[in-house]
Amino acid sequence: MDIRCECGQFRARLRSFPGNSPGRLVCYCDDCQAYLHHLGRDDLLDTNGGTEVIPAYPADVDILSGRDQLKCTRLSPRGTFRFSTTCCNTPIANTRPDMPWAGFLRCVFAAEEPDRFERLVGPVRSRIMGRYANGTPPAGTPDKFNLKAMLSVMPFLVKGKLMKKARPSPFFAADGVTPVVKPEVLGQ
């Protein structure tokens, strides 16, 4: 599956996708909302303030073009590393050093056929952090990260750890912890 920024300068390919991805997840947390507000990309939030994320292993990501367009934002000194582009302000992925997790935002998936993505990935499998939603989130959305959500992502994380899928990462240097671009830290 190919991914790209809105203007097409940044392009990457996800090998083995959807593979063992836990599928489509929606997070309503205040950090995800604050990040998209910071980017001026409120248009990517759903009607309740949710951000749709689809996880992949960092080791399965090949950047094809536009590495020089990446920027990194952290909402706090210990926050998640959130990568977007400088060319068109498209949020690309959320990740952490040495973790077998790169959460790609739904907006970057570039399926040539309109329903190909839906066929490959299926419906939203989990929603979390409903207490931060705008209005009433969809039925069954827990207030925080619950057991059901954990059970949907834990096999992916455990397998990724065992298979050493955190590295190489297109978002971190060979050491697995140094981001490829210096992060802008917002809440210092």
Residue extents of the structural domains in the chain: 2-172
CA dihedral sign of residues 53, 1, 161, 152: positive
Residue recorded with tokens 């969809």: 138
CATH code for 2-172? 2.170.150.70
Residue 163 scores a pLDDT above 90: yes
Distance CA 80, CA 147 (A): 22
Q: How far is CA 42 from CA 38, 50, 88, 110, 135, in A?
A: 9, 10, 14, 20, 16
**Whole-number Å distance between alpha carbons of 34 and 82:** 12
- Residue 172: both structure tokens together: 């971190």
Helices marked H in 8-63: 30-39
Backbone angles phi, psi at 119, to 5 degrees: -65, -40
> Which residue in this structure is represented by tokens 């997070």?
27
For 67-116, write each residue's pLDDT tens digit.
999 999 999 999 999 999 999 999 999 999 999 999 999 999 876 666 88
DSSP 68-110: GGEEEEESSTTSPEEEEETTT--EEEEE-TT-S-EEEEGGGB-
pLDDT digits (tens, 9 = 90+) for 102-140: 999 999 987 666 688 888 888 898 999 999 999 999 998
User: What pLDDT, on the 0 to 100 scale, is given for residue 111?
Assistant: 64
